[in-house]
Amino acid sequence: MKRQWTLLLGMLGATPKKPQTVPQPAREIMARKYADKTGFIEEKLRARADHAVSHKWRNRRWAVLTVVNLLFVVSFWLDIQMLEGALTGSRFVGFHMIDLNAALQVMLAHKHIIVNLVIGALTVFVLWVMLGGRSFCSWVCPYHLVSELAEKAHLALVRKKLVSEHEFHRGTRTFCWLLFAALGFLSGYTVFETLSPTGILSRALIYGPGLALAWVLVLLLFEIFYSRRAWCRYVCPIGLTYGVVGALSPTRVVFRVEQCFHEGDCRKVCLVPHVLDVTIKGRADAKVMSLGPDCTRCGLCLDACPNGALQFDVKGLSRLL
């Protein structure tokens, strides 16, 4: 329970801390790993040399994200009426579905509970409890994909020393969540939905481009030339909303300390690297640890890890992979 609370605070912006006490099983693993330092280093170097660069999970994720968004496009253009609407609000073979954050924004703006929104939100809530909460961000959100591509451009410019990295406090996202909620309540208007690149891109794909895409371009340019993945990391309330849902999900990424060489490759590719704080030497306080609700379950860390220390898992069941 204490760890779950720590993970939730970390999602809200608290800085990860080194555990004050480490249980005996974890201490034994660490002692065994470092008893022969030379052997440990040699094994680490050998694992890195033998590790073939893999994009297995990235490719799967891109495929799923593309298919999900194309389903909206095909259904609209062919007038199939199987999947109507956009990501923010839709109907799938008769089932109402609405983005949880959008439902909250609408009810705050109208200042009363709307039954249809509650039904649609409940359907989506159950779905993402099963699938992992913030996995919505990495496996469905179209802005995540274009931002991921923009990140590659940003990192290339950083390597050439043409731009430098600028970070903000992670608690900024919590502030933005509260700000957009307050603006919706006070103005009677869904302010965030007007600015959300998720909704803008989803509607542009289905119904055609509009002037709102200029705002998405501004965000991408800001991320390329100033701050890596700034919208998703420091602003977007959707990530925080689905992170809370992810706290209830059995679908997770787990870290197995015995298999880790602490090389840090996983943290370099992670959208939310604070969730991988446990991979730093001396930070793990159990043999197997969940990365927590702020993890997007994108699989990039699994592709990057040379020794399989990070794996998908369903709590209470055997490992998926």
What average pLDDT values come out for the chain (321 residues) when binned by 10 residues? 80 84 74 69 65 85 96 90 87 86 92 86 93 95 96 95 94 96 94 95 94 96 97 96 94 91 88 92 86 94 90 76 43
If asked whether residues 40 and 153 sit together in one domain, one would say no
If asked whether residues 222 and 269 sit together in one domain, one would say no
pLDDT at 321: 43
- Phi and psi for 228 in degrees, rounded to 5? -60, 125
If asked whether residues 7 and 79 sit together in one domain, one would say no
β-bridge partners, 252:
313
Residue 319 inside a domain? The answer is no
C-alpha count within 13 angstroms, C-beta hemisphere, residue 217: 6
pLDDT at 92: 85
Of 200, 227, 244, the last residue of a domain is 244
Let me know: does 312 contact 297? Beta carbons within 8 Å.
Answer: yes
pLDDT at 259: 86
Alpha carbon distance 243, 135 (integer Å): 9
pLDDT at 320: 43
pTM: 0.89
If asked whether residues 168 and 45 sit together in one domain, one would say no
C-alpha count within 13 angstroms, C-beta hemisphere, residue 61: 22
Let me know: does 215 contact 197? Beta carbons within 8 Å.
Answer: yes
Residue 217 inside a domain? The answer is yes
pLDDT at 263: 79
Alpha carbon distance 103, 68 (integer Å): 20
Looking at the 3D structure of the chain, how many domains does it have?
A: 2
Q: 258: Cβ–Cβ under 8 A, 6 or more apart, which residues?
A: 29, 33, 287, 309
Alpha carbon distance 148, 98 (integer Å): 25
pLDDT at 6: 84
β-bridge partners, 313:
252
Of 217, 244, 271, the last residue of a domain is 244
- Phi and psi for 13 in degrees, rounded to 5? 130, 0
Q: 302: Cβ–Cβ under 8 A, 6 or more apart, which residues?
A: 56, 57, 253, 310, 311, 312
Let me know: does 151 contact 270? Beta carbons within 8 Å.
Answer: no
Domain hosting residue 30, numbered range:
2-13+21-50+250-314
Q: 296: Cβ–Cβ under 8 A, 6 or more apart, which residues?
A: 134, 135, 137, 138, 144, 239, 271, 272
If asked whether residues 35 and 81 sit together in one domain, one would say no
pLDDT at 306: 85
